Amino acid sequence: MNERLKKAFDEIHAEEELKEKTKEFLLHQRNDHKKNRFFSSSRFVPAAVCLLFILIVFGSYQVYFIPTSAISIDINPSIELGINRFDRVISVKGYNTDGRELAASLDVKFIKYTEALERILCSESIQACLSSDEELSITVVGSDTARCGKILSDIETYTEGNRGIYCYTASSEDAHSAHEMGLSCGKYRAYQELKVLDPDITVDEVQGMTMKEIRNYIEALSDEPYYDAEENDIGHQGEGHRGKGHGYGHGN
C-alpha cells in the first residue's frame, strides 16, 4: 500500500512539475514574441523613414529639373535657357556653332534667369556683336501665359535703354516645331517670316545668318521696314513685328 501511495504522490508531483515547466515555456514564448515584434517594428521605422526621404528627394528633384519655360537668345550665337518653376536656369543649349561655343563658356546654371541674362548680355561675344550694330532677339517660350508675361516684363525692364534688343513671346507648340528643325525659337520665328517671302530659303542658310541679316533680307524682299516707326523710336509692346506674340524693341 505504501508503494502505491508513494507512486500516486510521485505522479501528482510530476504533473505539477510538468505544469510549471509548461507555464514557463509559454511565458518564455510570449516574451520572445513581444521582443521579436518590438525589434521588427524597430527595424521597420528607420526603413519607412528612409523610404519617405527617398520619395521626397526624388519628387523634389523631378520638380526642380522640369523646365516650365524657356528663353531664346539670338543674335548670331543662338542659345536657349531652360527655366524651372523656381525661376532658375536648369539647362543651356546652343543651336548653332557660335551658340554652342557661347553655351560652353557660360556659368549660368542654377541661378535666377535675370542674373543669367545679365551675364549673357555682358559676355564678350554678345557685346562684340552689339558693338557691331547687330540685333538681338529675346523670345520667352511657355504654355503658361501669365508666367511668360512676367518673365517678358522682367526682361523688358532689364533691357530698357539698350538699342537693338527686341523681345517677344512664343508658344510651346512653336518651340516644338523649332526644335524639330534644330532651330532656336527666335531663329524659327524669323525663319517662318522669311520663308513667306522666299520659299526656297533653307534652315541651314538661316542657321548661319545673324538676326540683322535676316531682317535686312526680309526688308529687301518686302520693300517695307521690318520694325515700325514706333518700335524703332520708343519701343513697342503688343503683337510684335510680322508675327504673333508680344514684341518690345529698342531701335537702332
63-99: pLDDT as tens digits:
899 999 999 999 999 999 999 999 999 999 999 999 9
Whether pLDDT at 39 is above 70: no
Give just the sign of the alpha carbon dihedral 239, 240, 242, 243: negative
Whether pLDDT at 252 is above 50: no
**Residue 139 CB contacts under 8 Å (≥ 6 apart), including other chains:** 71, 72, 74, 167, 168, 169, 170, 184, 185, 186, 189, 245
Higher-pLDDT residue of 247 and 186 is 186
C-alpha cell recorded at residue 141:
517660350
Whether pLDDT at 169 is above 70: yes
Low-confidence winner among 17-31, 83-97, 206-220, 231-245 (lowest mean pLDDT): 231-245
- Residue 236: the pLDDT is 38
Whether pLDDT at 9 is above 60: no
DSSP state of 144: -
| Predicted confidence band of residue 239 (pLDDT cuts 50, 70, 90) | very low
Query: In angstroms, rounded to a whole number, what is the distance separating the alpha carbons of residues 58 and 144?
Result: 25
Would you call 242 helix, strand, or coil by DSSP?
coil
Whether pLDDT at 242 is above 50: no
Mean pLDDT estimate for the chain: 81
- Determine if the pTM surpasses 0.85: no
- Is the Cβ–Cβ distance between 232 and 247 less than 8 Å? no
| Predicted confidence band of residue 47 (pLDDT cuts 50, 70, 90) | low
Q: CA geometry: angle at 218 spanning 164 and 250, to 5°?
A: 15
Query: In angstroms, rounded to a whole number, what is the distance separating the alpha carbons of residues 67 and 81?
Result: 9
Listed by start position, the domains of the chain span 1-64, 69-250
Helix axes 124-131, 113-121, angle to 10 degrees: 60
- Residue 12: the pLDDT is 46
